[in-house]
Amino acid sequence: MRRRGADERGVAVLEFVLLVPVFVLLVYVVVAMGRLGLARVNIDAAARDAARAGSIARSADGAVAAAQAAAGGVLGAHDITCANLGVAVDTAEFRPGGWVRVELSCTVSMAELVGVWAPGDKTMQAQGLAAVDTFRGLS
């Protein structure tokens, strides 16, 4: 005759109750990292587009204004709100065949990035570099 062991009724429910929060937390972390990566890509795109906008301007002053406007526009289009947006435009080589460099810094709330509550802020930085067309005139 078989001897019946300890009663195992309800063990599956207990395992389920213990593992569901761990699984939910894991999914939350994966989603948060994905959204953080997407924000990184969008900030890189904003720096690149700002440099390009600056490189097609007709003057160094116009390049600074165009780059700042482009950076704000790209970030706004991707619904990224920066608490501190810094757009530094280097026009030292603004001449035909030269370049325009943009350094962008953006501090974003982690709660906004992740979509649900998360502590702290994240400061992301990006650089963009664009060549000024060799065969065009400047004003």
Model confidence pLDDT, tens digit, residues 38-55: 999 999 999 999 999 999
Domain containing 79 equals 11-131
Q: What is the pLDDT of residue 19?
A: 93
Give the residue among 101, 100, 102 at the shortest CA–CA distance from 57.
Answer: 100
> Is 138 within the bounds of a domain?
no
Q: What is the pLDDT of residue 120?
A: 87
pLDDT band, very low/low/confident/very high, at 1 (cuts 50, 70, 90): very low
Q: What is the pLDDT of residues 58-116, one digit of tens each?
A: 999 999 999 999 999 999 999 898 889 999 999 999 999 999 999 999 999 888 877 77
Q: What is the pLDDT of residue 116?
A: 74
> Is 32 within the bounds of a domain?
yes
> Is 139 within the bounds of a domain?
no
Measure the CA–CA gap between 33 and 31, rounded to whole angstroms: 5
Task: Decide: 63 and 55 in contact? Cβ < 8 Å.
Answer: yes
Measure the CA–CA gap between 83 and 110, rounded to whole angstroms: 11
> Is 25 within the bounds of a domain?
yes
State the average pLDDT over residues 33-40: 90
For the chain, the domain total comes to 1
Residues 6+ apart with CB under 8 A from 88: 102, 103, 104, 105
pTM for this prediction: 0.80
State the average pLDDT over residues 2-26: 81
> Is 66 within the bounds of a domain?
yes
pLDDT band, very low/low/confident/very high, at 5 (cuts 50, 70, 90): low
Measure the CA–CA gap between 134 and 93, rounded to whole angstroms: 12
Q: What is the pLDDT of residue 113?
A: 77
Q: Which residue did the predictor score with more confidence, 1 or 111? A: 111
> Is 74 within the bounds of a domain?
yes
What are the backbone dihedrals phi and psi of residue 136, each rounded to the nearest 5 degrees, phi first? -140, 160
